[in-house]
Amino acid sequence: MCGIVGYVGTRGSVDVLLGGLKRLEYRGYDSAGVAVIDADGHLGTRKHAGKLGILTDDLAAAPLADGHTGIGHTRWATHGGPTDENAHPHLGDDGKLALIHNGIIENFAELKGELLASGHTFHSETDTEVAALLVGDAFRATGDLTAAMLQVVNRLEGAFTLLAVHADQPGVVVGARRNSPLVIGLGEGENFLGSDVAAFVEYTHRAMEIGQDQLVTIRPDSVEVVDFGGAPVAPPTFEVDWDASAAEKGGWSSFMAKEISEEPEAVAKTILGRVTDGLVDLPEVTALGPEVLRSIDRVLIIACGTAAYAGMVGKYAIEQWARIPVDVELAHEFRYREPVLSPNTLVVSISQSGETMDTLMAVKYARERGARTLSICNTQGATIPRESDAVVYTHAGPEVAVASTKAFVAQITATYLLGLQLGQVRGALTDDEARGLVAELQAVPEKLATVLGVGDRIKELAHWMADTRSVLFLGRHVGYPVALEGALKLKELAYIHAEGFAAGELKHGPIALIEPGQVVFVLVPSPRDPRSLHSKVVSNIQEIRARGARVIAIAEEGDVAVLPHADEVIRIPLASPFFEPLLAVVPLHYFGMELASAKGLDVDQPRNLAKSVTVE
Ligand code: AGP
């Protein structure tokens, strides 16, 4: 939600701002705007409801006087609908100050009352305008944008990233953040601010984190960060490990198609550099100390959506390999039940964006109550890793499509690396057992590349099923979370009812849903699995076929027992039970994408959704 860009330097700021907003489009928005201080020290703004192209076309037809200082914003409406008036920037100090905002100012009503009482008028329904007027007033009193912003942020409650510029201070952009994303791009004679590094990665790979309750002032040749008390801080810097082309569609029909094709590489890059002498070597985890790792008596995985399903797969593996009880909880439920936590509880958050507010709030809650926190995250410098004791980054590269695909397989991979590392440190796995599992994990990328070949067949199925109104997904053990993931993809991409079930649950109710023609995807475990789950799932298939279901089975090469019972069999390479989810999910990712395409829907930016849900 909401994209934010700030720039000071020697380039024309309008192009830098529009280019940055373009790269942040995937975050989801419904209006866009920019503010620029031109060469004569005048502040010009332009903003429109709708897609970025409307703003870009308007600026092409009627350019703003350009300059080298500016801020840009894409808004996902919270307070007030997506209208021109509610679009950001908002103005203060008689139009000499422009401000943009991501998040929610929870005490805006009280502050708005004060401003109205002091004679201010409002032009929008937003909470943001309150901040713009307050900073404008504070600038008039202090004559300095940093001091003005510092004064105001200490009066705000809620979650916010704010950027502001003032016509009387060209060459300066001031930003502040609390529980909302902001990162600094460090250039030569220029500096950037962005919601994430995609905003400026085409200009610089050098970046700096901004911590909680910190304020940054960027000038072309300086970056100064202070806390909300005004004390200087020196946040860590980092190198962005991907380049701008990685965030381009590169000739693919959609970012989602591109990102599905990158699933093998996402797994390979997440493993890379984390195996030594055939054993997992995760210094991010071992740095917690062997005593701490041995004292863990419970793992609690918290996440939302697809990330939660990755955690559910990881639960099976961590319990099996490290012999520690693992629970998975939806982050937005977690802190409202007052969970029992202790220093021996390891709370593992999983988040592609590292900005999901529900997950961030759950991590802060757990940490405040003494639990150890570890983040699995795909975005360097994001907020959740900064609020955690340790972080294991996935290296899937930027995931632009709202529907998560390559991040999902990378997240599962990271939970496997964690489970193996804990199993090794705690002696729950012998070195030989661990080496065998590591070798199987290292073989996954090549097998995943094979599975990409099912895309054409899935496309045919999807076009044949374009009018389908309901699809069910069945799975057992590690296949159950994959069934949930397949259903979520269909809901968020094709806007149809879809539901994932544990196959064993069928006879406890859901089988009543089966009527002639009901499409059901079934994730079939390997027949080589000694736990006889295969025969149980084949029995489930027979039960639903007997009631007219159309069954699409996802089964391993060579599984002939499933053939008489399925209308369609999608093959995946042989793999041990724990590694099947990484392969079996690919046909389901393709299916969600192809059904959406068959229905003429926007695959990359589905309706009502944002890539990163940065409000609760
Ligand atoms: C998945 O396709 C969705 N986009 C959504 O469920 C997503 O996984 C969830 O919002 C969590 O996002 P995060 O991984 O960035 O925290």
CA of 252 to the centre of ligand 1 (A): 22
Contacts of 203 (CB under 8 A, 6+ apart): 16, 185, 187, 190, 192
Nearest CA to ligand 1 atom 6: 305
Tell me the CA–centroid distance for residue 412 and ligand 1, in Å.
14
521 within a domain of the structure (yes/no): yes
CB-based contact 413:210 (threshold 8 Å): no
Query: Residue 180 pLDDT > 80, yes or no?
Result: yes
For the Cβ of 353 lying below 6 angstroms from any atom of ligand 1, the answer is yes
pLDDT of residue 245: 78
Which pLDDT value is given to residue 616? 75
Ligand 1: which atom is nearest the Cα of residue 611? Answer: 4
Q: Contact 55/242 with Cβ under 8 angstroms?
A: no
pLDDT digits (tens, 9 = 90+) for 303-339: 999 999 999 999 999 999 999 999 999 999 998 888 9
Whether 172 and 150 map to the same domain: the answer is yes
Are both 25 and 162 inside the same structural domain?
Answer: yes
Q: How confident is the model at residue 296 (pLDDT cuts 50, 70, 90)?
A: very high
Confirm or reject: Cβ of 359 under 6 Å from ligand 1: yes
Average pLDDT value for residue range 50-76:
93
Confidence band, pLDDT 50/70/90 cuts, at residue 76: confident
144 C-beta closer than 6 A to ligand 1: no
Q: How many structural domains does the chain have?
A: 3
d(CA 173, CA 6): 7
Tell whether 93 and 35 lie within a shared domain: yes
Final residue of a structural domain among 213, 246, 279: 246
273 shares its domain with 370: yes
- 614 — pLDDT class (breaks 50, 70, 90): confident
User: What's the rounded Cα separation, in Å, for the pair 191 and 204?
Assistant: 9
C-alpha to C-alpha distance for 399 and 379, rounded to whole angstroms: 9
| Ligand 1 close to Cβ of residue 405 (< 6 A) | no
1, pLDDT greater than 70:
no
Instruction: Please check whether residues 400 and 458 belong to one and the same domain.
Output: no
| From 353, 412, 495, 585, mutation site for ligand 1 pocket: most ligand atoms within 8 A of C-beta | 353
Ligand 1 contact, 31 CB (< 6 A): no
Q: Are residues 200 and 326 in the same domain?
A: no
**388 and 528 fall within a common domain:** no
- Does residue 404 line the site of ligand 1, with CB under 6 A? yes
In a domain, 334, yes or no: yes
Q: How far is the CA of 404 from the centre of ligand 1 (A)?
A: 6
Distance 609 CA to ligand 1 centre (A): 10
Residue 71: predicted pLDDT: 98
* Residue with CA closest to ligand 1 atom 4: 403
Q: Please provide the distance, in angstroms rounded to a whole number, between the alpha carbons at the two ends of the chain.
A: 11
| Rounded distance between C-alpha atoms, residue 461 and residue 442, angstroms | 31
CA 174–ligand 1 middle distance (angstroms) = 30
Q: What's the confidence (pLDDT) of residue 93?
A: 84
Taking the C-alpha atoms of 239, 241, 245 and 246 in order, what is their torsion angle to the nearest 10 degrees? -140
Probe residue for ligand 1, chosen from 306, 402, 611, 612 as the CB with the greatest number of ligand atoms within 8 Å: 306
Quick: pLDDT tens for 351-397: 999 999 999 999 999 999 999 999 999 998 889 999 999 999 999 99
pLDDT tens digits, one per residue of 242-270: 887 777 777 788 999 999 999 999 999 99
Report the nearest atom of ligand 1 relative to the CA of 408.
8
Q: Which pLDDT belongs to residue 409? A: 98
Across all residues in the chain, what is the average pLDDT?
A: 94
Tell me the pTM: 0.84
Residue 298 maps to a domain: yes
Considering 246, 268, 291, which residue would you say is the last residue of a domain? Answer: 246
462 and 591 in a single domain? The answer is yes
- Judgement on whether residues 561 and 421 belong to the same structural domain of the protein: no
Say if 439 falls within a structural domain.
no
Q: Which tens digits make up the pLDDT trace of 87-100?
A: 999 999 889 999 99
Residue 165, amino acid: V
The tens digit of pLDDT for each residue in 541-563 reads 999 999 999 999 999 999 999 99
pLDDT higher than threshold 80 for residue 14: yes
Give the H or E element holding residue 392: strand 390-393
* Residue 303 token pair: 């996440």
CATH number of the domain to which 587 belongs: 3.40.50.10490
* Closest C-alpha residue for ligand 1 atom 5: 305
Q: Is 93 in the pocket of ligand 1 (CB under 6 A)?
A: no
Question: What range defines the domain where residue 554 resides?
Answer: 453-598
Q: Note whether 327 and 319 are within 8 A (CB).
A: no
3-state SS, residue 212: coil
Same domain, yes or no, for 505 and 532? yes
* Amino acid, single-letter form, for residue 96: K
pLDDT value of residue 29: 79
**Which atom belonging to ligand 1 lies closest to the Cα atom of 612?**
15
Q: Which residues contact 44 (CB under 8 A, 6 or more apart)?
A: 35, 36, 37, 38, 64, 65
Q: Are residues 312 and 457 in the same domain?
A: no
Q: Is the pLDDT of residue 27 over 80?
A: no
Which of 22, 47, 315, 611 is flagged as catalytic? 611
Q: Is the C-alpha dihedral spanning 115, 121, 123, 124 positive or negative? A: positive
E strand intervals along 84-189: 90-92, 97-105, 158-166, 173-178, 183-186
Q: Compute the distance between CA of residue 444 and CA of residue 358 in angstroms, rounded to an integer.
A: 31
Using the mean position of ligand 1's atoms as its centre, give its distance from the Cα of residue 485 in Å.
11
What mean pLDDT is predicted for residues 11-36?
90
| pLDDT value, residue 595 | 97
Query: Is the shortest distance between the CB of 613 and ligand 1 below 6 Å?
Result: yes
Query: Which of the two residues, 388 and 531, has the higher pLDDT score?
Result: 388
Give domain status of residue 386, yes or no. yes
Cβ–ligand 1 distance for 605 under 6 Å, the answer: no
Residue 435 lies in a domain: no
* Cα 387 to Cα 354: distance, rounded to the nearest angstrom: 10
Mutational test site, ligand 1, from 485, 613, 615, 616, max ligand atoms within 8 Å of CB: 613
**Who has greater pLDDT, 258 or 82?**
258
611 an active-site residue? yes
What CATH number does residue 128 fall under? 3.60.20.10
Residue 269 CA to ligand 1 center (angstroms) comes to 20
Which residues touch 237 (CB under 8 Å, ≥6 apart)? 186, 206, 207, 208, 209
Determine whether the shortest distance from the Cβ of 402 to ligand 1 is under 6 A. yes
Same domain, 569 and 460: yes
Choose the catalytic residue: 2, 258, 377, 406: 2
Neighbours of 62 (CB within 10 A): 8
- Cα(305) to ligand 1 centroid in Å equals 5
Which of 356, 363, 405, 614 most suits a substitution to test ligand 1, by most atoms within 8 Å of the C-beta? Answer: 356
Predicted confidence (pLDDT) per residue in 462-510, tens digit? 999 989 999 999 999 999 999 999 999 999 999 999 999 999 999 999 9
Residue 359 CA, closest ligand 1 atom number: 16
Q: Does 611 reside within a domain?
A: no
- Residue with CA closest to ligand 1 atom 2: 403
Q: Does 465 map to a domain?
A: yes
